[in-house]
Amino acid sequence: MIQIPKGCKDVLPSQAHIWQSIERKARTEAARYGYEEIRTPVFEHTELFSRGVGETSDIVSKEMYTFLDKGNRSITLRPEGTAGVARAFIENGLASEPLPFKAYYICSAYRYERPQAGRLREFHQFGAELYGADSPAADAEVICFANALLKNFGLQRVSLRINSIGCPHCRADYHEALKNYFRPHLGEMCEDCRTRFEKNPLRILDCKNEKCKQFTAGAPSMLDYLCHDCRDHFGQVKDLLAMAKVKFVVDPSIVRGLDYYTRTVFEFVSDAAGAQGTVLGGGRYDGLLSQLGAKPTPAIGFGMGIERLIMVMEAEGAEKSKPRHVKCYLAGMDERSRAEAFLLAQKLRAEQISCECDLMQRSLKAQFKYADKIGARFVAVIGEEELALGRAQVKDMKTSRSESVDFDKLAQYIKKGRVNENGERSFRS
C-alpha cells in the first residue's frame, strides 16, 4: 500500500472544522486590522530564498526542497511565506499604491527536517506582512494584532518575548563582540556553530545543540550594543505595548532563525504542550526588499504555524469549534418516496439549508441511525401516505417532537419553525 510521505499529515473531514474555524477567526482579525489576503505560488526560484532568507540560515543551508525543473532551472518549494510576498510586492509594483501595504496569507510550506510534535515537513502557516512604515507604532500594532489573534483562539498560557537585534550599523560591533566571546570555545561547539562563527555569529545564539547552549547563555547581549536610533526605537515599541496593556518580557536570546530580521523581533511561546515552544514569531526586516533588488522599504510581519497552534490549543483545552452538522435528513421508505426526498433535498439546498437524503438504500430504521450519527437536527420521513398528502413527517431529533409539514413549506419550517395553516403548533429550531 502507498503511504503518506514522512513528515506529512492528512487533515480528515472529522478534523477539518478545527482548521476552518482557525482560518475563519484569523481572517476576521486580519480584516479588523486592515489586512487583505495575498496568495503566492507554492514554488519560487531558489535565488529568492537564498538571497532573502539568507544562506547562513538553517532553512537555506539544510532544509529546503530544491530541484531542477525541465528547463534546468533551480526551483524551491516555499519554506516560509515572507519572501514570496516580498517578491510579489516588488514585481507587481505595489509600492506605488497607498502605504502601508498590509497583507495576510494562509499557505502550506515545506522544510526537510526531522518530524516531531508540531513540526512537519509539510506544514501550514498564517502570516501577516506590513510594508512602508518604519515607526515603532507599526511594530507595536503588528504585535497587538498577533496578541489579539492568539486570544481569539482561547490561549491563556502564552507569553510574549521581545528583543531588538539592531541594524547593520550597530550589529557590526556586536558581531565582533560575539566572535571574541565564542572564539575560545569553538573547539567544543558543534560544526554548524563553527561555520556560523565566520559567516554570521548571531546565528550561534539560535543553536539548539545542548552543549552550545551552555556557551550561548553567557554571551554578550545585543541590547548593550544598540545604536542610539535602535535603542530609541525599541524603547518606543515597549512604551506603546505597555500603553496597550500587552504584557511582555524582554529576552535578549531571541534572534529568530532567518537572516532578514532587523531591530524588533518577537515570539509568543507556550509550555502547554510540554517543552517550551514558539506558537507565533516575527519581527522587522527593513533590509529584505533591497536585498531582492528593490528600493529600501521598511517592513515587519509574523508567521504562525497552524499545526503547532492546534497542538497547543488541545494541550490547553482551549475552546474549539464544533463540527457543523447537516440541518435536515430526508428519509424515503420506498423507491418513489426516495425520489421525492432527492428532489426535496435539492430544493432545501437551494434555500441554503444543509441536508442529506438516502443514497445507500437503507431501511427506515437504518436511516434514522445514520441521521443521528451525522448530527441532523431534523428528519423528514416520506412514505406512501406522505406522498399522497404532499406532506412530510418531520421529527426534531433534539426534542423528539414530530409534526406533519407540507412539502412546499418544509424549507420555511426548518429555517424558522412557523405555525402551519391548519393550526398545528410548530417550534423554533
Backbone phi and psi for residue 10, each to the nearest 5 degrees, phi listed first: -80, 140
Confidence grade of residue 56 (pLDDT, cut at 50, 70, 90): low
Burial of 384 (0-12, 13-18, 19+ CB in 10 A): exposed
31 contacts 234 by C-beta, under 8 angstroms: no
Residue 55, phi then psi, degrees to nearest 5:
-70, -20
Give the residue with greater pLDDT, 375 vs 200.
375
Identify the pLDDT of residue 429. 35
Quote the percentage of the chain above a pLDDT of 90. Answer: 73
Boundaries of every domain in the chain: 13-167+227-316, 328-416
Domains 13-167+227-316 and 328-416 belong to one CATH topology: no
3-class SS at 187?
helix
The pLDDT mean for the chain works out to 91
Does CATH place domain 328-416 in 3.40.50.10490? Answer: no
Instruction: Mark 93-124 as b/e (b = at least 16 C-beta within 10 Å).
Output: ebeeeeebbbbbbbbebbbeeeeeebbbbbbb
**pLDDT > 90? residue 343:** yes
Q: Work out the burial of residue 416: count CB atoms within 10 Å of its CB; fewer than 13 is exposed, 13-18 middle, 19 or more buried.
A: exposed
Q: How confident is the model at residue 420 (pLDDT cuts 50, 70, 90)?
A: very low
Confidence of residue 201 (pLDDT cuts 50, 70, 90): confident
Mean pLDDT of 248-269: 88
What is the pLDDT confidence band of residue 214, given thresholds at 50, 70 and 90? confident
- Give the C-alpha separation, 326 to 324, whole Å: 7
Pick the CATH number of 13-167+227-316 from 3.40.190.10, 3.90.870.10, 3.30.930.10, 1.10.10.60: 3.30.930.10
Query: Which secondary-structure segment (H or E) carries 130?
Result: strand 122-131
Give the pLDDT score at 276.
59
Question: What cell does 211 get?
Answer: 552543549
Best CA proximity match to 368, nearest among 391, 343, 394, 387: 394
- Beta partners for 53? none
What residue type is assigned to position 390 of the chain? G
Which of the residue ranges 145-154, 211-220, 284-293, 363-372 would you say has the lowest mean pLDDT? 211-220
